[in-house]
């Protein structure tokens, strides 16, 4: 019995020191691992943040470029028929959109959906304007009709622009 107490006198303090050392080392390693994960995450943010901001900039530019005023003024050719001009406008809208398809990766689903709907809304506007003209109408007449309709209807384009601007302000 005396021997057991003598052994416990040496073993028990050793076990307490071992448990305390184990706990402190585990705590240190866990904190170090969290710090490394945080550093990796911050490095990722430093890389992705400028790319995300650039994606928002590109889509705002896209929406501005396909606005009726900008689109018609940029592509207007008075010598074309309304059908040729309609085709040219729709093709330009779709090409601009396809050029920016990859930007959806960097923004919210709701923002991308609004951009996509704005594009479709504008194509619908161009088609509606064309149907309101006779078959031998000119590109100038189509341009005027597009401007008339864009002033009388609320376009999703402006809603999408405002949403993107607000989302940028919140994120950055």
CA distance 89 to 75: 7
129: nearest Cα among 140, 112, 138, 142: 142
Contact 75, 37 (CB under 8 A): no
Contact 71, 65 (CB under 8 A): yes
CA distance 148 to 169: 33
Which pLDDT value is given to residue 119? 97
Contact 107, 59 (CB under 8 A): yes
Give me the phi and psi of 81, to 5 degrees please.
Answer: -80, 165
The number of beta carbons lying within 10 Å of the beta carbon of residue 73 is 10
Q: Which residues of the chain have pLDDT under 50?
A: none
Q: Which residues contact 132 (CB under 8 A, 6 or more apart)?
A: 145
Which two structure tokens, joined as six digits, stand for 168? 């940028």
pTM score above 0.85: no
Which pLDDT value is given to residue 133? 94
DSSP state of 76: -
CA distance 27 to 147: 68
Q: How far apart, in Å, are the Cα atoms of 103 and each of 9, 109, 170?
A: 69, 11, 18
Domain regions of the chain by residue span: 50-171
CA distance 117 to 127: 15
């Amino acid at each position: 019995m005396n021997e057991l107490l003598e052994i416990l006198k040496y073993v028990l303090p050793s076990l307490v020191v071992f448990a305390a050392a184990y706990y402190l080392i585990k705590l240190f390693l866990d904190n170090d691992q969290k710090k490394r994960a945080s550093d990796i995450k911050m490095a990722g943010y430093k890389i992705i943040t400028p790319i995300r901001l650039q994606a928002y900039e590109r889509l705002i530019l896209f929406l501005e470029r396909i606005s009726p005023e900008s689109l018609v003024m940029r592509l207007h050719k008075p010598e074309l028929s309304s059908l040729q001009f309609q085709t040219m406008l729709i093709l330009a809208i779709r090409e601009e959109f396809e050029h920016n398809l990859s930007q959806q990766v960097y923004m919210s689903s709701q923002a991308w959906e609004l951009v996509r709907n704005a594009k479709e809304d504008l194509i619908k506007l161009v088609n509606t304007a064309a149907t309101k003209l006779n078959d031998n109408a000119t590109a100038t007449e189509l341009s005027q009709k597009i401007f008339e309709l864009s002033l009388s209807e609320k376009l999703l384009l402006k809603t999408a622009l405002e949403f993107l601007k607000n989302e940028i302000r919140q994120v950055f």
